[in-house]
Amino acid sequence: MDRLLYVAMSGAKESLLAQSNNSNNLANASTPGFLADLQQFRSMPVFGDGHPSRVYALSERPATDLSHGALVHTGRDLDVAVKGDGWFVVQARDGAEAYTRRGDLRIDANGLLSTGNGLPLMGNGGPIAIPPAEKIDIAADGTISIRPLGQAANQLAVIDRIKMVSADPARMRKGEDGLMRDVDGEELAADAAMQLATGTLESSNVNLVNAMVEMIELSRRYEMQINVMREAEKADEASASIMRL
């Protein structure tokens, strides 16, 4: 009886974990450049003294969906989307470089060009600082030019160039902060051939229909496990009643 209860309990626990992953995908369905986390279940034998005669459920995130989201034209000067399989380089919270396809840029209170979630965008020499300007122009190769305050329309000054990299998808891993990194933790070199589209955002690659169907399926799977636990409780009570006789 205890074995039945434990099997059902582990199944319910793993279903909740999978539901949490799926809920995170749903919550980021409108986040620019978000890459959905994949989820799978598999059977895991319990190893210990003797033969592994018990098998329990295990949910895990085997990989990240690296397919590209749809390109949406916004017309905003600071909205950019990297073309092909490239990545923008940002400075993560720990100060190291990380990679993202999110391109909803803005200038923060410190004058740094940052992504919509507040991460500084990296240029040739570090985070890109934008001085006060009347207009900011981002070229297809990532070069950033500004028209300084009070200057004529043809007076443009080149500030920096957005660092973009290309990488082998098999070597990219997604961290808990949602940013991609090289599996060995190495910083990737800038790829001068990478191009971007201005006035455009790459949307999330989350498939809303599939995510909703997955949410319903996981909820039913969890309910099934709870029902098995209730039946185990009833069987245990019946056994205890027989023993009292």
**Of 41, 38, 12, 42, which is closest to residue 25 (Cα–Cα)?**
38
Which pLDDT belongs to residue 240? Answer: 76
Q: How many CA atoms lie within 13 A of 110 on its CB side?
A: 10
Q: What is the pLDDT of residue 241?
A: 78
Backbone φ and ψ of 188, nearest 5°: -85, 145
Per-residue model confidence (pLDDT) at position 155? 79
pLDDT of residue 67: 93
- Below-70 pLDDT ranges, the chain: 1-2, 245
**pLDDT at 112 (0 to 100):** 95
Read off the pTM: 0.84
pLDDT at 47: 76
The CA radius of gyration of the chain, in Å to the nearest whole number, is 25
